Chains A and B, each alone.
Chain A
């Protein structure tokens, strides 16, 4: 009796003694098509599950969700919270000014250009993006973006001229993601609220509750 047969027998006996059903013999197979013959090997769990998305039903607040680390900030005077499902923080001020914190993936230049496109501006190169000024966010080096243009909010048919956008992007390479803080609104309004925005950025922090 070879060791393997022994093991097999042993495990079979164990299985039966555990009251489990017999192993099912795998009887089907198929020949792989050409593009399938070189499977991607060594993918990490992060790679394999990068598209995993909690379903809407799973988003209901659970007791667990209320504990653990969470985002905290100080709402500047005169601003008010306008909760938004796609944003971590969503605030509004004045007539048409808004400010948000979101997390999302993508490279720095792509994200800067996404904002530039919203403001009706030309895309810039990776080098240009790398030379943007920095601003500290969560204690890390964020990238400061200031844009003037005609703003076209997502889902709106047309752009409104005379808008200003100020944003900070903090890349988080370990999570292949980035944190975005953005203020946008009519130019005069945004200019009047720049100090508040500064204070807001400084107040952003992670707390444990």
Chain B
């Protein structure tokens, strides 16, 4: 071996280390994922924090990257473990998604080989870190003054926020591993040197009591007049102070004092410890040491797993002692069971079978595809409902408490409505619509998460904390939305089919479809009317007025009013089949406005889920609906040209009032 040049040996070792990504032991990942953390008002598994942070940073919930020539796919938890415990490796992960990479050029960063929408790694951004922070804070101030930002400025602001969030997240365990700072240039050289060899639990085990304010006062003192010893103490204390201030994002430790509402982050824990007498720091030191053990055993899989589990069970039992253990296992079941993803996949499959079925509805394959579509839909429905039940179980609230959950509920209820109406005439139109609506809604729910990458189970604001009203008003109104959307889809199918003269001879089918649309509209009226008035009664109990012309209230009212217009115009004979379907499509426009548009207006009491990017989606939807209405106009024109016919297919006779 002696002949082997040292340089070559080193190179070989590097090659070896680079050869492959070492995955974390499975057990350690499991323990890490299940660590309870109090975040945004709720105790949740650390995995959920990792999941939404990764979604916010890079627009996906798993990370695919190339490490040393090999392709690696990491779950959110594995990514967070890398980010915290292997900063040298993970700082090269391309996780910062930016919609317009030219924003980065405005930071004087030379970039090459990036697409317009692309991802950057922390190392790539590090050279312009300070400039990014400055610009982002300038733009944040500009925004606070309600000045308009350019698109590029907006991008810089978003990127600055992402980098900051990432640093905070990674720094949250730094007190237990001062040698693994992601960016040592944050510290002066003497402090960085000390950090590389410091073990905080040991230091806190012997350091004198010095409250944080005292450290601050000490930092004011003139260093010229200090002795060398004093200066060394100061450096150490400033490091403690640094960790105290930066390690604050993850509040992991349930405090023993039941009066203290907030959990304690590692940074706060360090500050608490130094502020106490040496002898009173046992609680803090024990927990800090647990994290340190984890951090120091990253090279030894079995020790790492054991230490991680020890940390998790300590936090879990601390939380249980406070009766704040949360629904960790339920939440993991929800996310790891992928109920909502599976539901989406089943419904997409069902929808594909529906398309195949329509290629030859009367043929044998067509019948087989129908059965397949129904079964895929049923499996999707079961998966969806299971997911919704788990979500309800996690927080103990009825299934709809925010905008995201309306997607899920409308999906499930539209499928049920579709099957029910399908039973009445078996023309596979209701079935198709009943599969199309959930497919679309579940795809949109995914898009919605990208626009607003936040925990979809946030704590409920005070006014919503009532399961009685959440079940009565919210569910009824949402059922009204769901039935109305189904009617709009069926009406669209009807208009498009008539326009392209599909099965023109089957007038009975068209007539039955018209009847069905009308029936679903009446169904939707019942739910919307009752739900809207119930909402008024709720408002009368919580805000003191039945009706306040608030945008969300008005949206619901418009749905009710428009349904009543359809009903009475039909009774009066002012609209026939085409008119009815056009009005049903318009109902879809109104529902989508009420569902999203009013939230995107940014005014009013009900804007619980404000989304800026929603207008684009609405614009597309309304564009499609406008095309369908134009088709209906064309259809009407065609019919008026061939007027001698004794009445168009599917015409409904004029009826008396009580014949609704």
Contact = CB atoms under 8 A, between A and B. Distances in A.
Q: Do chains A and B touch in the complex (CB under 8 A)?
A: yes
Interface of A: 85, 120-121, 148-150, 158-159, 161-162
B245 A148 contact: no
Interface in B277-336: none
Contact of B238 (A85, A148, A158, A161): A161
17 contacts: A85-B145, A120-B216, A120-B220, A121-B220, A148-B220, A149-B216, A149-B219, A149-B220, A150-B216, A150-B219, A150-B220, A158-B245, A159-B216, A161-B216, A161-B219, A161-B238, A162-B219
A148 B218 CA distance: 11
B187 to A, nearest CB: 12
Interface in B567-625: none
Nearest to A84: B141
Nearest to A161: B219
Interface of B: 145, 216, 219-220, 238, 245
Across the A-B interface, give the 4 residue pairs with the lowest CB-CB distance, nearest first. A161-B219, A149-B220, A120-B216, A158-B245
Nearest to A120: B216
B472 to A, nearest CB: 41
B285 to A, nearest CB: 25
Contacts of B219: 149-150, 161-162
A120 B221 CA distance: 13
Nearest to A153: B137
A21 B647 CA distance: 67
A102 B168 CA distance: 34
Contacts, number: 17
Contacts of B238: 161
A161 B187 CA distance: 12
A13 to B, nearest CB: 48
Contacts of A158: 245
Contacts of B216: 120, 149-150, 159, 161
Contacts of B145: 85
Contacts of A149: 216, 219-220
A150 B220 CA distance: 7
Contacts of A150: 216, 219-220
Contacts of A161: 216, 219, 238
A158 B219 CA distance: 15
Given A148-B220, A149-B219, A150-B216, 14 more contacts: A85-B145, A120-B216, A120-B220, A121-B220, A149-B216, A149-B220, A150-B219, A150-B220, A158-B245, A159-B216, A161-B216, A161-B219, A161-B238, A162-B219
Nearest to B238: A161
Nearest to B219: A161
A86 B258 CA distance: 43
A137 B406 CA distance: 63
Contacts of A120: 216, 220
A149 B218 CA distance: 9
A85 B238 CA distance: 36
Contacts of B220: 120-121, 148-150
Contacts of B245: 158
A149 B220 CA distance: 5
A21 B145 CA distance: 47
Q: Which of B145, B219, B238, B245 has the most CB of A within 10 A?
A: B219
A124 B82 CA distance: 49
A36 B76 CA distance: 63
B164 to A, nearest CB: 10
A45 to B, nearest CB: 32
A148 B219 CA distance: 9
Contacts of A121: 220
A119 B363 CA distance: 82
A202 B460 CA distance: 57
A148 B220 CA distance: 6
A64 B659 CA distance: 72
A75 B220 CA distance: 30
Q: Which of B145, B216, B220, B238 has the most CB of A within 10 A?
A: B220
A150 B238 CA distance: 12
A5 B622 CA distance: 73
A150 B237 CA distance: 15
A117 B361 CA distance: 78
B232 to A, nearest CB: 17
A121 B245 CA distance: 18
A112 to B, nearest CB: 16
A191 to B, nearest CB: 13
A159 B220 CA distance: 12
A120 to B, nearest CB: 5
A149 B213 CA distance: 12
A193 to B, nearest CB: 19
Contacts of A162: 219
Q: Which of A85, A121, A161 has the most CB of B within 10 A?
A: A161
A124 to B, nearest CB: 14
A141 to B, nearest CB: 28
A143 to B, nearest CB: 21
A184 B245 CA distance: 22
Contacts of A148: 220
B171 to A, nearest CB: 12
Nearest to B140: A155
A161 B239 CA distance: 12
A140 B238 CA distance: 42
B220 to A, nearest CB: 5
B415 to A, nearest CB: 47
A150 B219 CA distance: 8
A162 B222 CA distance: 10
A47 to B, nearest CB: 32
A118 to B, nearest CB: 13
